[in-house]
Amino acid sequence: MSATSSPTATRTCIAARIAIMEAAPGKRIVWHVLDNYFSFTRDETEWKGTDIVFDIASKGDLTEITFTHRGLVPSYECFEACSQGWRMYVEGSLRDLIMTGQGRPNIGEAMTESERILAA
């Protein structure tokens, strides 16, 4: 995952090298962050060694996705911005992608209030 922006936009840079640790179709996906870079935190590698987990379950005619970013803890400088960002992606972009076929990927501009504050 990586994102950068045009020189005229509020700039946020996020890059990550992720390994797929588990991929059970219709059940679970686990990504392990091997390395990452944030332009907006003092510790540019806060996600390194964390796991991003999507648990998928059928609930009648519906599908439930439970998202967990294991290792993303409140003491991290990016915690608030990352929590808001994940919420926007999972509850907004991913839902839109599943329901309509069109998500809202981050192309580098700050998308949440916390991202805008950190990028300033």
pTM value is 0.76
At residue 3, the 3 state secondary structure works out as strand
Q: How far is CA 54 from CA 6, 16, 61, 102, in A?
A: 31, 17, 19, 19
- Distance, in Å, from the CA atom of 40 to the CA atom of 107, rounded to the nearest integer, reads 16
Structure tokens at 86: 């994940």
The pLDDT of residue 109 is above 80 = no
State the pLDDT confidence band at 19, using cuts at 50, 70 and 90.
Answer: very high
Instruction: Tell me how far apart the alpha carbons of residues 25 and 22 are, in angstroms, rounded to a whole number.
Output: 10
Distance between CA atoms of residues 120 and 5, nearest Å: 14
Cα 115 to Cα 82: distance, rounded to the nearest angstrom: 8
CA 69 to chain centre: 9
**Sheet of 28-38, strand order:** 2-3, 14-24, 28-38, 51-59, 62-70
pLDDT tens by residue, 65-101: 999 999 999 998 888 888 988 998 899 989 999 899 9
